[in-house]
Structure 1
């Protein structure tokens, strides 16, 4: 079977918020909103260890609400915390394959294996083992970030899910999408011709208390600019509310045909645009990208 790489464009319709977390194999795919208190500890004013305080929100593609969309994610409190997002490649639907099965199983495997002694807090090895354990047909882009209690954050990313680290209102670090060509990202697959954990972009950095990590599927980053992420995060003290606000902003932009989104901006830079006669009239390709939208907002707090 050849791998269908390009995600199909699907007609727009009103969206429905449907948050769900995948935190263990027993809770796989249960739909619920994750609300956590992020108050820093007042007992240890000098930070010796840190951990994540996490809020999540997922809005499925309007045409995929009945099955929860094709994104999946999990949150774990292992060590300093682990967060991960997988985005099922929708082109598999053309082969009568449910694209959500691969991404959900991948996240379920990662959740189960996160404490495996062979992983050793290495997100790239976690991807290796989770991918090897997958039996579903399909493919997915995926990102995993693991925080050690000493503040070291390790990231492994295959494809166009993304992550931003924000400190004092500035983007400290951004992942870069991995693409074969426009709208065709790297992906872990059930087929031999796909990418593997060895293709992951691997990064690490030291975080401090108060840093904020925004992770999401491309449904977030295709529709929301970095400056909008920063300004939205600044308006909310609660990470769950911040995640919800970012997801709603991405959803609104995705269905606005006049919004000059990151997606339309990139498309034009790659040579995709309106016909010449429209250009003569001063028009250009605009609009967001309707998609599943997953957002995880994590704040670094003293343990």
Structure 2
């Protein structure tokens, strides 16, 4: 079935793995702990460090206002493997027009990634390969943007990204490192898909950054970065000692901005820069294009600690 690439501006839905994939679990037979976190809890998830550096992680999800009852179309997972692994997948809501549930693809993708993350022979702590393995094993119809970050115990954070999920490293009150979105054109990001038109793991942006104790990592779907500026992210996370509280505060800030038609959001600033204009009634009143972008909002905050 030939299906066009869907624009990300079509409402996307957000509460993470909120079905059978939405539970935290411990494999008692292998003693390997992995966590799939749903939208509701915002408790910190400490990721144990076997040697030098690791993450202490807090998460929070807020679904699109029109999709609260359904739970959302975003998914993520957190793993204790090696120094720690965090990942976010953002489902593309345009599939609903084809009578396809857009949440199934990202949920299965993240579930598969969680299953493969500790495969040292095939994945070997490579986030790009992990994306490829998870994508190949995903049978659901749909598409999603995805980002995976894997922390080596020596402090090297490896990142692979397909689309417009984002990551920031905050050090000493400043953004030390940031990723850039991949897009075909404005509001149409790269995406993994069940169909042949999508991208693959080979198209991922791959990079790495050296981390140190005290660094803060903020990963999120575009619902965060379309509505919150970097300086707001810095001021918010530095105001909290607890990563769960920081993640919740960031998600709430993004949600507030997304519903504010007068807020000059990162999304509206970029839209104007790309030549988009305000509706006629606003132009008549001398008003410019402003406002946040209602969307699902996924926030993962990781604090780098040494043990």
**TM-score normalized by the length of structure 1:** 0.90
Separation (CA, whole Å) in 2 of partners of 1:6 and 1:250: 21
Separation (CA, whole Å) in 2 of partners of 1:22 and 1:87: 18
Separation (CA, whole Å) in 1 of partners of 2:16 and 2:204: 29
- 2:192 maps to what in 1? 188
* 1:6 to 2:7 alignment: yes
CA contact (8 A) 2:162 2:191 kept: yes
Q: Compute the RMSD of aligned alpha carbons.
A: 2.7
* 1:268 to 2:272 alignment: yes
* 1:100 to 2:103 alignment: yes
Separation (CA, whole Å) in 2 of partners of 1:103 and 1:124: 16
CA contact (8 A) 2:90 2:145 kept: yes
In structure 1, the residue corresponding to 2:103 is in which secondary structure?
helix
Judged with a 3 Å threshold, the aligned counterparts in structure 2 of structure 1 residues 150 and 292 are, in CA distance, closer, same or farther, namely: same
Render the CA deviation track for 1:95-154: whole Å, top value 9, x for unaligned.
010110000000000000000121111000000000000000000000000001110100
Displacement of 1:68: 1.0
Separation (CA, whole Å) in 2 of partners of 1:113 and 1:145: 14
Separation (CA, whole Å) in 1 of partners of 2:163 and 2:5: 15
Separation (CA, whole Å) in 2 of partners of 1:52 and 1:288: 31
Displacement of 1:24: 5.5
Render the CA deviation track for 1:144-185: whole Å, top value 9, x for unaligned.
000011101000000000000000011111110111011100
Map 1:1-303 → 2, pairs under 5 A: 1-7=2-8, 9=10, 30=38, 32-36=40-44, 49-117=52-120, 118-275=122-279, 278-279=282-283, 281-303=285-307
Separation (CA, whole Å) in 2 of partners of 1:181 and 1:124: 23
In structure 2, the residue corresponding to 1:56 is in which secondary structure?
strand
Judged with a 3 Å threshold, the aligned counterparts in structure 2 of structure 1 residues 22 and 78 are, in CA distance, closer, same or farther, namely: farther
In structure 1, the residue corresponding to 2:90 is in which secondary structure?
strand
CA contact (8 A) 1:260 1:286 kept: yes
In structure 2, the residue corresponding to 1:231 is in which secondary structure?
helix
CA contact (8 A) 2:16 2:76 kept: no
Judged with a 3 Å threshold, the aligned counterparts in structure 2 of structure 1 residues 24 and 180 are, in CA distance, closer, same or farther, namely: farther
Runs of 4+ in 1 over 3 A off after TM superposition: 7-11, 15-32, 275-281
Judged with a 3 Å threshold, the aligned counterparts in structure 2 of structure 1 residues 299 and 281 are, in CA distance, closer, same or farther, namely: same
Judged with a 3 Å threshold, the aligned counterparts in structure 2 of structure 1 residues 259 and 74 are, in CA distance, closer, same or farther, namely: same
Displacement of 1:32: 4.7
Render the CA deviation track for 1:46-95: whole Å, top value 9, x for unaligned.
xx600000000000111111221111000001000000000000111110
How many residues are paired up? Answer: 294
CA contact (8 A) 1:51 1:81 kept: yes
Displacement of 1:3: 3.2
**TM-score normalized by the length of structure 2:** 0.89
